[in-house]
Structures are given as C-alpha cells and as structure tokens.
Amino acid sequence: MSTNTDRPILELKNIVKKFGGFTAVDDLSLDIVEGELFTIVGPSGSGKTTMIRMLAGMDKPTGGDILLRGERINDVAANHRPTCMVFQSLALFPHRTVGENVEFSLKIRGVDKPTRRKRAEELLEQLHLPLSYYDKGVNQCSGGERQRVALARALAFDPEILFFDEPLSALDFRLRKTLEKELKDIHRITGKTFVYITHSLEEAMVMSDRIGIMREGRLVQVGSPDEIYNQPKDKFVAQFMGEVNVLEVEKAGEGRVRVTNNGIELAAHGMGPDFEAGFLVVRPEVVRIGDNAADMANKLTGKLFNEYSLGSRIQYQVRMAEGATWVVERLRDERYSGQLDDDVTIGWQPEDAMLVLE
C-alpha cells in the first residue's frame, strides 16, 4: 500500500521532450505519491523510457518542470539526485564480486569497509542470496541472481526513489513471475517509492499501486489496477489491458445499442446522456457459453472454432456468421461439453460489459 502525504514526492508539470521534429513526450503532467509503486506501461514508442530517463536525470526535458519534494530538478545531474535506476541490462561490473557491486555506491561515498560489508550482507539476506555470494564473481551468477544483485546495489545507495527500466524483460517466464512478487514484497518492506517501466500488462497488474497508460507521448489514463481494468477510458486502454471482445455500436434507445455492422440490438449498461456511438467492450471471462448462456440478457450465436487450455481456465474461440471472432474464458470446472464446429450460444449480462469511446 502507498503512504499518502500532503504533497507528492515527485511532480511532473507539462513535460515535453523533443528530438528534432519528433515529440516523444507531449505535455505530460503527473503526481507520484511517496511510498507508492507506480508503473508506466505502453506499447513500444509510446515515450515511457524517454520519460523515466528524464525522471532519473539522464535526459533533460525540452519544456515543463520536474519537482522532487517541491524543488525543481530539471538541471540536477543524475548522480546528484537522491534517486537510482535499475536498468534492463543491469549494468553490473563484470570484473567485480557480488559484494563489491553491492557496496559500490557506499565506497564512492567514503563509507568504511566494515560498515559497507555489514550493509551488503543485510541486503543479500533481504534479497534471498546466500551470504557466501559476497565473494562470488557476478558473472558466475544466474540471470535471476544478477537481478537481485542489481537491486541490492540500488538499495545500498538508500535512494528516495528507485526507477526500473523493464528489469525483468530478459528473464524466463517462471523466474519473472517469482521476481514480480519479490519486488512487490521488497517495496512493502523498504517503504521506498518505486517507479517502474514495463510493456507487460501482467507485471503492472501484479505489482502496482497505480498504473499509468502511455500512448504517443501522453498519459491516457492513470488509476489503480482495478480502475484501469474495470473502467477503461477508451478502446485503446481496454484492448491494451488484455484480450477483449469489441463491438462498434450506436445508441438505439434508452439502455440499448445497435451493432454497426449487422444491426443486432443489445442491452447496455452505464450509457451516459451524451453517448451516441462508440464501442461495447466485453471481457472474455464474463461471457457464458452453451447452456450457461441461456439466462443471459445478451446472446449471440456462432460456431465453436477452437479451444485452448490455460491451466485453471479454458479459452474458446467462437466465430460468427459475419466473420467476427469472440473469445470466451471459463474456469475448468465450467468447461463447455460440446465439440468443435458445434453451433453454440454465447451470452453476457449488460452490467458486465463496458461502453467506451474511441
């Protein structure tokens, strides 16, 4: 959980970053609360890495201000800020031991060796690395171990804010899942402010207090994982936050919409007074299939094209006559008993779907 204070620890005010004629970050404003884990996600080229490089002091904004505890830091060099970056490449010193890597920032500060070693050993223990690793060459460590060493080195500096630039992207799936949870645990233990960049929806959902979605240099939505997932502001956010079924619709009456390409009318929930046209978003996990769809207010029919096992869940692909494909996910114990190529009904309740704009 984040720790609320009267003033954000980090404030971005109308930040712009241009490279020649290209605008990488466009009039972006954001407050980051002290003690929170804030994750910035977006597709490649959305500006998220450019933004975190400015926050860490590696690049200067073309316009706007960055404030740390109310003080403007646009022109403060990275090594003079109370912040630290954990890179995707980790940037460890390959010719040094684990202990020497962890202690590096303390040595630069002139901290005596016994104090440095004590702090390094505390961090190794906190990050689930054996104390015997203190004298181990960093190149002898596995990818996950090197990740922990890089984080220990960052924490040894005792920064007010830690920035992470996609640090888990090069790891295998199982190790990434483990480290996601460990990073969240470390965040809670240390109480530090973490600002995390990733292209992975799953990382953001697992770890974050709040998420910011970037697109073309702008933040298009900021909120808790639940808010982003359940209340997307537009079609882009809805689709970015996971596999969804999307229908282009127009208003057909009070609480009713008409599908643009086939004229089918459906019940819709949460239609504002100004809504005339947009998109109906239906997540796969709220859609029922077969007999379980019989009591749903909205129903469509198609052919079962394929099914995929996702461990505890089963995903179904249903193809409609007009060529559209629907994705349905059910728990394994709700498995559809029919066969591929069956005519099948799918359905959902109006309150389980969302109306969004472009």
Q: Please give the chain's pLDDT, 358 residues, in tens.
A: 444 456 799 999 999 999 999 999 999 999 999 999 999 999 999 999 999 999 999 999 999 999 999 999 999 999 899 999 888 777 888 889 999 999 998 998 899 999 999 999 999 998 889 999 999 999 898 888 888 898 899 999 889 999 998 888 777 888 888 888 888 988 998 899 999 999 888 889 999 999 999 999 999 999 999 999 888 999 999 988 788 999 999 999 999 999 998 899 999 998 888 889 999 999 999 999 999 999 999 999 999 999 999 999 999 999 998 888 999 999 999 999 889 999 999 999 999 999 998 7
What predicted TM-score, i.e. pTM, was given to this entire model? 0.87
Same domain, 60 and 208: yes
**169: which DSSP letter?**
T
CATH number for the domain spanning 140: value is 3.40.50.300
- The pLDDT value given to residue 2: 46
Same domain, 231 and 247: no
Q: Is 318 domain-assigned?
A: yes
Instruction: Please list, residue by residue across 308-321, b when 16 or more beta carbons sit within 10 angstroms of its beta carbon and e when fewer do.
Output: eeeeeebbbbbbee
From 235, 266, 292, the end of a domain falls on 235
How far apart, in whole angstroms, are the C-alpha atoms of residue 3 and residue 7? 11
- The pLDDT value given to residue 1: 46
**156: which DSSP letter?**
H
Residue 297 belongs to domain spanning:
243-356
Q: Is 4 domain-assigned?
A: no
How far apart, in whole angstroms, are the C-alpha atoms of residue 86 and residue 125? 19
Same domain, 261 and 133: no
Same domain, 147 and 275: no
- The pLDDT value given to residue 177: 85
Q: Is 224 domain-assigned?
A: yes
- The pLDDT value given to residue 6: 60
Of the CA atoms within 13 Å of residue 24, those in its CB half-sphere come to: 18
Same domain, 300 and 330: yes
How far apart, in whole angstroms, are the C-alpha atoms of residue 168 and residue 180? 8
- The pLDDT value given to residue 143: 81
Q: Is 29 domain-assigned?
A: yes
Same domain, 75 and 204: yes
Same domain, 218 and 290: no
- 214: phi then psi, degrees, rounded to nearest 5: -105, 145
Same domain, 187 and 278: no
Contact by Cβ (8 Å): 2, 36: yes
Q: Is 2 domain-assigned?
A: no
Same domain, 27 and 142: yes
From 235, 253, 281, the end of a domain falls on 235
Instruction: Please list, residue by residue across 272-292, b when 16 or more beta carbons sit within 10 angstroms of its beta carbon and e when fewer do.
Output: eeebeebbbbbbbebbbbbee
Q: What's the number of domains the chain is made of?
A: 2
Q: Is 291 domain-assigned?
A: yes
Q: Is 175 domain-assigned?
A: yes
| 161-165 vs 193-198, strand pairing mode | parallel
From 206, 235, 264, the end of a domain falls on 235
Same domain, 304 and 175: no
Same domain, 205 and 345: no
- The pLDDT value given to residue 3: 47
CATH number for the domain spanning 344: value is 2.40.50.100
Q: Is 3 domain-assigned?
A: no
Same domain, 216 and 279: no
